[in-house]
Structures are given as structure tokens and as C-alpha cells.
Amino acid sequence: MYRDPDAPAFVDDYVNLASPLLGATAEVASDEFFAAKERILQDAPAVFLPDAFDEHGKWMDGWETRRRRNGGNDWLLIRLGVPGVIKGVDIDTSHFTGNFPPAASIEGFYGEQPPAPSARWRPLVRTMPLGPGAHHYAAVSETEPVNWIRLQIFPDGGVARLRVYGTPFREWTEEERHGEIELSAAKNGGRIIAYNDAHYGILPLISEGRGKNMGDGWETRRRREPGNDWVIVALAHAGTVGRVEVDTAHFKGNFPDSCSIQAARVEQSTQQSLITQSMFWPELLSKQTLQADHIHDFGPETITDLGPITHVRFNIYPDGGVSRLRLFGKLA
């Protein structure tokens, strides 16, 4: 799984709220003549297919508008799957070299209905210059949640991917405060902090629903050395875990032999410090044997009561693929 080595900390520390895995959708665009607006939200890195053409011209992996001849600029309206407080963005022009926009801006809005023409948008990223074939990162200092994003490009062109990093905004209901919730779910604010390997992908691990295929989950390369693979997940809120679900849907010849979970309550820590600490966290779930293509439910009889926790380290032995990891419990 590719990661830009120059990416700022907010890429690792927060969730991409514009991911389709959280339900984000590209709603309306001023134009999408050359490339459909939906492509800009895809989780996979953009690709370039030199021989791919369609009826409009060169096929591009992103959102691309026609050349403007009448002034003005193009824009795209995106509805986030869950409201969130934005911490940073990545406007990625990968593979757009002679057709990238020279500049772009991003605004946010909070409301149940699509913003009216007279809506007052909050500036998240003021107009910034863009270059060809590159990630353009910008930190955001806004503290209020938004659930609509407007990307404006000046005057026209193509953007491969837009990532909007932040924390999901949840107002817990009285029922949720006293009942069981999915503490690890990305839609609630759970996020993947670190992992040792994600050769075939990892983003869907804490998303909703069962995996659609073997590519919809976390899968590591074949391990040829001693040890095991792992991922660290920050829970949406400190809580006590009552049950765990490990789903190996579609992983039949490559599911892990077994798994375990370590956990702790961590107030503040850097990513590297968390990785080191996690090796010594107590076990929430002792080593359990797994099966192919199966939902494994682990209840109170197999879970150690560690009190309120904020982070878990999910270990698989020695390697393989897991479709979903779910931790259910009560808010602390």
C-alpha cells in the first residue's frame, strides 16, 4: 500500500472523511466532460493508462473539466459520509501534467440539505497554487464541523484525488451513552494509526458491512521471516470492550492462522511511541484460532476486562487477510 513519504502528520493521525468507505459522495460538478467527478474520491491511488481513450478523449483517473472559454471557474460539491472537523487536505494532481488547475480553494458547510446558492461557506483552504503531478497538502485550523465540501479550481482542469482528513463529529445520544456502540468503527471516529504491512490494502478493515471481495479488507504480503503482522487502531472514544468480531470474509487460502488483541488507555503519544508501547500492552483477547471465510465472535468469556481503553493492537499470526475488525462496548 503506497504512502507518500513527504505526507504531513495529519494524514496518519486522522480519517479521510471524503472516502466512499464512510459514505462520501461527489454530488454536483460544474462540468465533468473529460473525467467523472466520482473518481476524485476513490481510495486507491490514481493510475495512468497511456492507451486508454473514450469518446471524449484521453481517459484520466480523476475529475477533469473541459477547457473554459467563457471566463469563470469550475467547482465540485461533495457530501461527506459523516460530519467532521477538518484538520488537513490533500489536493492530488497525479498524472495531470498539462491539464492541472493552476490554483484551487476548499470551503465547508454544515447542514442537512444541500447548500443553497446563498449559503455562507466557511473557508477551509484559501486559494493555493497547484503544480503538475503532485500532492498538495494544506493544514486546516477550522474548529467547527462540516458535512459539505466545495472544491473550486481556477479556472479549469483535472484533479486526480481529493482527501479531506479530520475527526468524525459525533453527538452521542442518551441511548448510545448507556448502550453498546461499535467503538472501532471509522464512521464513529475510529482510525488506523499504524501497521507493519498492508501490501494489498488496509483501509476497509474498520468500515461498515461485510467485505465485498478479497480486496475489501486488510491483507499483508506472505511473511518469509519470523514474527507476525499487526495494526494499531485508535477507538472513537475511550470505552470498555464487551465483545469482538473478526471477519475473514473471502479470505480462504490466505486467512491468518490465529489472532490476538492487546489494548491500553493512552492519553497522548506520537505514532512511533505508540508502536513501541503497544508491544507491551496487556492482552484484551488472548491468541485465538481463526477459520476461512468466517465471522468469529468473541464474547465476555474470552475478553479480559482491562477497564476503559483508547487503543488496540490487532495481531495476526503469522500473516494473511482479515476483512473486518469490530470492537463493541460502552463509552467510558
Per-residue pLDDT tens for 217-230?
A: 999 999 999 999 99
In terms of domains, do 153 and 73 share one?
Answer: yes
Same domain, 96 and 125: yes
Examine residue 227 and state whether it is found in any structural domain, yes or no: yes
Inside any domain, residue 2: no
153 and 181 together in one domain: no
Q: What is the pLDDT, as a whole number, of residue 170?
A: 84
Q: Within this chain, do residues 43 and 178 fall inside the same structural domain, yes or no?
A: no
Q: Is residue 53 part of a domain?
A: yes
Q: Which residues pair with 73 in a beta bridge?
A: none
CATH number at residue 210: 2.60.120.260
Is residue 3 assigned to a domain? Answer: no
Burial class of residue 70, CB neighbours in 10 A (0-12, 13-18, 19+) = exposed
Note whether 195 and 230 are within 8 A (CB). Answer: yes
- The domain total for the chain is 2
Residue 4: inside a domain:
no
Q: Are β-strands 295-298 and 218-219 bridged in parallel, bridged antiparallel, or unpaired?
A: unpaired
- Same domain (yes/no): 183, 89: no
Task: Give me the domain span that covers residue 318.
Answer: 174-331
pLDDT number for residue 12: 83
Task: Answer yes or no: do 158 and 178 share one domain.
Answer: no
In this structure, the number of other CB atoms found within 10 A of the CB of residue 254 comes to 16
> Cα(193)–Cα(332) distance, rounded to whole angstroms?
21
Q: Are residues 161 and 221 in the same domain?
A: no
pLDDT for 268 equals: 81
CA distance 202 to 209: 15
Question: Domain end: 168, 190, 205, which one?
Answer: 168
Long-range residue pairs from 302-307, CB within 8 A, at least 24 positions apart, any chain? 303/241, 303/242, 303/243, 303/244, 305/240, 306/240, 306/241, 306/263, 306/264, 306/282, 307/240, 307/265
User: How many other C-beta atoms are found inside a 10 Å radius of the C-beta of residue 87?
Assistant: 21
In the listed set 141, 168, 195, which residue is the last one of a domain according to the structure? 168
Q: What is the dihedral of CA 137, 48, 160, 202, to 10 degrees?
A: -70
**56 and 184, same domain (yes or no):** no
Cell of 196: 507493519
Cα diameter, the chain: 68
| 210 and 104 housed in the same domain | no
Rounded Cα distance between 259 and 256, Å, is 7
* 59 Cβ neighbours under 8 A, 6+ residues apart: 35, 49, 52, 53
Query: Angle 87-89-93 (CA atoms, 0-180°, nearest 5)?
Result: 170
Q: Report the candidate in 207, 211, 165, 218 with the shortest Cα–Cα distance to residue 182.
A: 207
Whether residues 130 and 182 fall in one domain: no
Answer with the one of 168, 196, 222 that is the final residue of a domain: 168
C-alpha cell at 138: 494544506
- Domain assignment of residue 46, yes or no: yes
Partners of 105 in the β-ladder = 152
pLDDT of residue 89: 98
DSSP-derived pairing of the beta strands 283-289 and 295-298: unpaired
Query: Does 1 map to a domain?
Result: no
Same-domain pairing of 206 and 160: no
Say yes or no: 298 and 208 in one domain. Answer: yes
Residue 115 located in a structural domain: yes
8 Å CB contact between 149 and 166: no
Strand-pair category, 135-139 with 63-64: unpaired
Residues 30, 35, 39, 44: what is their CA dihedral angle, to the nearest 10 degrees?
-150
Which residue stretches of the chain have pLDDT < 50? none
pLDDT of amino acid 331 = 96
Query: pTM higher than 0.75, yes or no?
Result: yes
